[in-house]
């Protein structure tokens, strides 16, 4: 990370030196620039793969957009940057093999959604997502927690889910574009969870409220 920071800022920052910068010293724009660069390195060995080839167009656009981007505040773009860093960690922590190829395919799809949405709405924009919880797909149920997780993290048992603001139903929140799984949970530590539902979050997606089943 220190080497990447030094290259970005055009400075030499010896590891351990008193003046060495850390991530917290950088703007969100600088950190996001580094995040795209690190992700590009991880995808580079697969540049010729016919299934993953789409990442180059999406990632190239997102990198160019970041270079031109003028953040509206100090925290602007943080959710996007954190999403990209989760991608990077997931890829690094997955051994080579079928599981890694599946992960890269999911990240590629996620990047496509980010590209499609941000191209229309702006780099740091998020999409309002509404979730309705139903019993047997018919009767709306209130008072449940609504959770979500990026699809590329679903195979990681240590991945921490995020909770929508407030309880259902409906529940709504502003999400970084991508691919997610959504589900409901009874609001207690040992509460039961309902089945998960996958959905793209991008330009025009989802087209309406997402319906998930109550436990």
- Smallest CA-to-CA distance from 202 within 142, 112, 135, 101 is with 112
- Range with the lowest mean pLDDT among 23-32, 98-107, 151-160? 23-32
CA distances from 63 to 36, 115, 123, 185 (A): 6, 10, 10, 37
What residues make up the domain containing 78?
2-121
CATH number of the domain encompassing residue 191: 2.60.40
78 in the same domain as 107: yes
pTM of the model: 0.86
Residues in CB range of 213: below 8 A, 6 or more apart? 133, 134, 135, 136, 137, 184, 194, 195, 197
Q: Rounded to whole angstroms, how far apart are CA atoms 131 and 186?
A: 15
Shared-domain flag, residues 198 and 110: no
Q: Residue 2: which pLDDT band, with cuts at 50, 70 and 90?
A: very low
Question: Rounded mean pLDDT of the chain?
Answer: 89
- ∠ at Cα 75 (70, 80), nearest 5°? 80
How many distinct structural domains can be found in the chain? 2
User: Does one domain contain both 116 and 134?
Assistant: no
Tens-digit pLDDT profile for residues 42-91: 999 988 888 787 788 999 999 999 999 999 999 999 999 999 999 999 99
Indicate whether 138 and 208 sit together in one domain.
yes
pLDDT digits (tens, 9 = 90+) for 88-121: 999 999 999 999 999 999 999 999 999 999 999 9
pLDDT of 25 reads 62
């Amino acid at each position: 990370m220190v080497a990447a920071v030094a290259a970005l800022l055009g400075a030499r920052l010896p590891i351990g030196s008193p003046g060495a910068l850390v991530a917290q010293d950088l703007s969100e724009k600088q950190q996001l620039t580094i995040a795209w660069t690190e992700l590009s390195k991880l995808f580079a060995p697969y540049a010729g793969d016919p299934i993953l080839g789409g990442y180059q167009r999406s990632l190239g656009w997102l990198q160019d957009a970041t270079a031109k981007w003028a953040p509206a505040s100090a925290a602007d773009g943080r959710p996007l940057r954190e999403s990209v860093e989760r991608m990077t960690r997931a890829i690094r922590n997955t051994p080579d093999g079928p599981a890694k190829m599946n992960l890269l395919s999911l990240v590629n799809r996620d990047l496509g959604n980010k590209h499609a949405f941000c191209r229309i709405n702006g780099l740091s924009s998020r999409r309002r997502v509404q979730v309705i919880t139903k019993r047997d797909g018919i009767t709306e149920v209130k008072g449940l927690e609504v959770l979500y997780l990026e699809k590329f993290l679903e195979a990681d048992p240590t991945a921490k889910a995020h909770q929508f603001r407030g309880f259902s139903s409906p529940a709504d929140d502003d999400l970084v574009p991508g691919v997610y799984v959504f589900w409901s949970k009874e609001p207690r530590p040992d509460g039961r969870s309902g089945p998960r539902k996958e959905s793209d979050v991008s330009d025009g997606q989802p087209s309406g409220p997402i319906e998930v089943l109550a436990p």
